[in-house]
Amino acid sequence: MAAGTDEQVTIRHDLRPGDLGRVTELHGVVYAGEFGLDVGFEAYVAETLAEFVTRSRPDQGRLWLAEAGGRLVGCVGIVGRDVGAAQLRWFLVDPSQRGSGLGRRLLDEALGFGRAAGRRSVYLWTVDLCADATRMYLAAGFRRTESKPPARIWGARCAEERYDLHLRPG
């Protein structure tokens, strides 16, 4: 159960009409409210989700949706990339569900899929504003491997950071 609610959270990965819009909306609303990101960020999320659906192979990529009471309360995706790598994308937990363990469940699903798909490593890009998510990445074994100088991105001043995790030798 989620912190502060009595609704059961379920996680699924079968995409249905409307799901991409809900993931885009969740990102737009949460990131605007928490970090002041503008509509350009929401457009970026929509663009990357569209690319995922039109170009990704089901055995190399997946998007998980966490729902409670018919509402989207979290999501995460894995996208197969070149030479044994995968990219973790769209990781977000609605503020109403934080502290419930949902973020860890979603991250475990994504990393487990990456391992099962034979990926040697997983990487992600984030911004330094996302301190809670960064703590979760570090606890899961990710290490920061790149940091760009702070710049104005999507209406906020922040630094982009890359994190990498080795899933298996190779």
pTM: 0.92
pLDDT of 105: 96
Q: Span 90-113, mean pLDDT?
A: 95
Q: pLDDT tens digits for 58-77?
A: 778 999 999 999 999 999 99
d(CA 119, CA 74): 24
pLDDT surpassing 80 at residue 100: yes
What band does 87 get if pLDDT is binned at 50, 70 and 90? very high
* 77-83 own/partner pairs: CB under 8 Å, 24+ apart: 77/52, 77/110, 78/110, 78/113, 78/114, 78/117, 78/122, 79/52, 80/56, 80/117, 80/119
d(CA 34, CA 43): 17
Q: pLDDT tens digits for 31-61?
A: 999 999 999 999 999 999 999 999 877 778 9
Residue ranges per domain, the chain?
A: 9-120
Number of residues written out for the chain: 170
Domain 9-120 class in CATH = alpha beta
pLDDT of 60: 84
